[in-house]
Structure 1
């Protein structure tokens, strides 16, 4: 399934290149030379590397599963089921890492806008609660008579 994995990594690499206006190989070299120069680029390159690793693990797991299945249809034995679970876990890891890269590339993602998104921003002034609240009444001080009970 390498052609599909190249498509996934290719699409993500293309988005990275569009965002940073340079080829991915050049961006990797720039981040390696000065990792603190652009924290966004450093994060994206790091997570893209993790994505590529998880895609390699997925390709390996898929190849092992295909080899175990062979060409004969039938019920899966325990070894094949374990390989199927490994493929499923690899897909989940790859998709999760792809979502992180997608988040890092999206400048309008939640948490990246507004005053709270700036590292040195002052916190927003505290506002009153939306609904009126009252201090709790300590037990035993309420003046609520119980039904059918006289004091």
Structure 2
């Protein structure tokens, strides 16, 4: 894009791509091919490639949103109408998405990032299989005649 609006921020993708290539010692195309061929061989590379792809998608969505907004602004009189304002909100949402994904890529590339060194982060990073919900989603069955726990009683109502 040569309109100047996103040339500086578009470099976010370029800068992070360069950092990825430096970290893994190969260009992004080869890295993507390597991850596609063996996704479990290097989990860090797999995560980075996944998030780089999401970042690239977000950047493309932002570029389209900016182009649409610019086209609408060129036809506007001095006041901006509601459809054009909606386009501006779309640009803002696209920027937020792109920036969030860029933060994830930066975090993945930084071995000293907060939360990467403590044991809790390591436990969370390990994949786990679940057979059901993490918390109970319904009240436990109580036999007839068993009073409800105190926390379930409404104030001012007698227990039956």
State the TM-score, normalized to the length of structure 2: 0.69
Name which one, 1 or 2, has greater alpha-carbon Rg.
1
Query: Which of 57, 62, 66 lines up with 1:62 in the alignment?
Result: 66
Residue equivalent to 2:108: 104
Q: Does 1:16 align with 2:20?
A: yes
Residue equivalent to 1:83: 87
Q: Does 1:92 align with 2:100?
A: no
* Separation in 2, partners of 1:77, 1:114: 51
User: Which blocks of at least 5 consecutive residues in structure 1 are unaligned?
Assistant: 120-151
How many residues are matched? Answer: 119
- Once the two structures are superposed, the pairs formed by residues 1-12 of structure 1 within 5 Å of their partners are 1=1, 4=7, 6-12=10-16
* Separation in 2, partners of 1:49, 1:23: 14
Return closer, same or farther for 1:84/1:118 CA change in 2, 3 Å cut-off.
Answer: closer
